[in-house]
Amino acid sequence: MYKASLEKYTLNFKRPSGTSRGVLTEKDSWFIRIWDKEDPKTVGIGEASIIKTLSPEWSADYENFITVIVENINDYVGDGLEKLRAYPSIYFAIETALIDLKNGGHQVLFRSPFTENRSSIRINGLIWMGEQDFMLNQIREKLNQGFDCIKMKIGAIDFEKELELLAFIRQHYSAEEIELRVDANGAFLPENAMEKLKELAKFDLHSIEQPLKQGQIQAMTHLCADTPLPIALDEELIGITDPKKKTALLNAIKPQYIILKPSLIGGFKGSDEWIEAAESLGIDWWITSALESNIGLNAIAQYTYTKENPLPQGLGTGQLYTNNIPSPLVIREGMLMLD
């Protein structure tokens, strides 16, 4: 028999962080701790991370709902975890806590050369939306930190200014020197998306994430078929839990890439299903964190390393927050590692 506890934790951004869905100043997470009644000193921990504008299970009743689940934790272990498929953040938290518990409660979920500080993960440097000077300073900072892959969020400021920023990067760094990814977070409209993709393609970009809002399957299918720039699906994957429907979606749209966020798509198991579906169709993928604290980020990073994907992954070190949980994760020369 298991017991569990719940702790809400509000993360505060160092500065307001802009996305095409608005500006974030704080973000809530809930930590779930699980232990066996017979061994209360060994505790596994997992994080239920919520982005209120994006997480499919979010509602005003979320906190009451997760409280009831934790109070009845034995109903949600083993096969019972499948009852939480529609609640990916909670699924991920319990899944993570149980793996941690099984491995002794030291937050080493997937032992590997990465957890033993003998290897690292190549990651992209993330540029947040904001005024032109702010974004330009971020770009310079990432380049100085040794990143050779930069991801820039677009869609919040004037598109022409965003093109100017990309032009600035390409004036100084070729595609061989710096790989550029952009993330539109669904900011384009079907009627102007192709025109914008053609403009963006002039800068030798690696890919663009989610140019259209999720759910516009026909429009996204046409865009992926004729795009001058590889398209990666991101938000499009959220809310789809049936493995057959995952394959059907990818087979219909045929994107060039998909992006996996365990907190938003049902943890490691949900991610494994998307990977299997993508690889069966010849679609590449990478893994991205989604504003988790260092508890969730640590778990995602360990999982990511085991997948042996050579592409730069979208993982950070929680440096966005003033009050993050202490972590041994560090970035050196564009590589994520445990120190």
Residues classed as catalytic: 153, 261
Find all residues with CB under 8 Å of 78, minimum gap 6, and list them: none
Residue 161: enclosing H or E segment and its boundaries?
helix 159-172
**Where do we find the tokens 């539109």?**
184
Measured distance CA(200)–CA(263) in Å, rounded = 30
Token representation of residue 155: 């869609």
Q: Which amino acid, residue 154?
A: I
Token representation of residue 198: 């053609």
φ/ψ of residue 122, rounded to 5:
-75, 130
Burial of 195 (0-12, 13-18, 19+ CB in 10 A): exposed
Burial of 79 (0-12, 13-18, 19+ CB in 10 A): exposed
Cα distances from 200 to residues 125, 136, 182, 184, 223, in angstroms, run: 19, 17, 9, 11, 14
Q: Could you say which DSSP state residue 229 is in?
A: S
**Where do we find the tokens 């943890």?**
267
Report whether 83 contacts 75 (CB < 8 A). yes
133 alpha carbon, distance to own chain's centre: 26
Roughly how many angstroms between the first and final C-alpha of the chain, as a whole number? 35
